[in-house]
């Protein structure tokens, strides 16, 4: 079946550091790929998405590129802020079903 493997957390970084959260997937066919973010005490918000190979999703300074050859969708941000502290979920969508990774808790310290 479909699956998403995400970098284990928690991840702690200093403000303005570079962020990478790794995500790889296994799926039959050509899924769409997503990053969702969950801020403390809140629901899931879509951060960015990519629907086909080589697409780059971007939002709020975050980027991820759909790499079919490596089945990856790593999340990056050049300079993180304290307000980026949250849990980040990588997910794939195939046959209407979203399959999530286990989530990566990110904490940014000033």
Partner 1 sequence: DTAVSQTPKYLVTQMGNDKSIKCEQNLGHDTMYWYKQDSKKFLKIMFSYNNKELIINETVPNRFSPKSPDKAHLNLHINSLELGDSAVYFCATSSGGRRGTDTQYFGPGTRLTVL
Tracing tokens 């709020």 back to the chain, one arrives at: 60
Selected from 3, 20, 26, 51, the binder of partner 1 by CB under 8 A is 51
What is the C-alpha separation between 15 and 85, in angstroms, rounded? 10
User: How many beta carbons lie within 10 A of that of residue 75, not counting itself?
Assistant: 24
Which of 36, 62, 66, 73 contacts partner 1 by CB under 8 A? 36
- Based on the shown chain and the rule CB under 8 A, indicate whether residue 31 belongs to the binding site for partner 1: yes
Candidate list 1, 10, 40, 43; residue touching partner 1; CB under 8 A: 43
Subset of residues 2 to 21 that bind partner 1, contact rule: CB under 8 A: none
Binding residues for partner 1, rule CB under 8 A, total 25
User: CB-wise, 16 or 53, nearer to partner 1?
Assistant: 53
Tokens of 95: 């046959």
Burial class of residue 82 in the structure, from the number of CB atoms within 10 Å of its CB (0-12 exposed, 13-18 middle, 19+ buried): exposed
């Amino acid at each position: 079946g479909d699956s998403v493997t995400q970098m284990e957390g928690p991840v702690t970084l200093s403000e303005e550091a570079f962020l990478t959260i790794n995500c790889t997937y296994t799926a039959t066919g050509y899924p769409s790929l997503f990053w969702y973010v969950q801020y403390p005490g809140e629901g899931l918000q879509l951060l960015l998405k990519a629907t086909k190979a080589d697409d780059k999703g971007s939002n709020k300074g975050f980027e991820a590129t759909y790499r079919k050859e490596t089945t990856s969708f790593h999340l990056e941000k050049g300079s993180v802020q304290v307000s980026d502290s949250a849990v980040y979920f990588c997910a794939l969508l195939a046959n209407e079903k979203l399959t999530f990774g286990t989530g990566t808790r990110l904490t940014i310290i000033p």
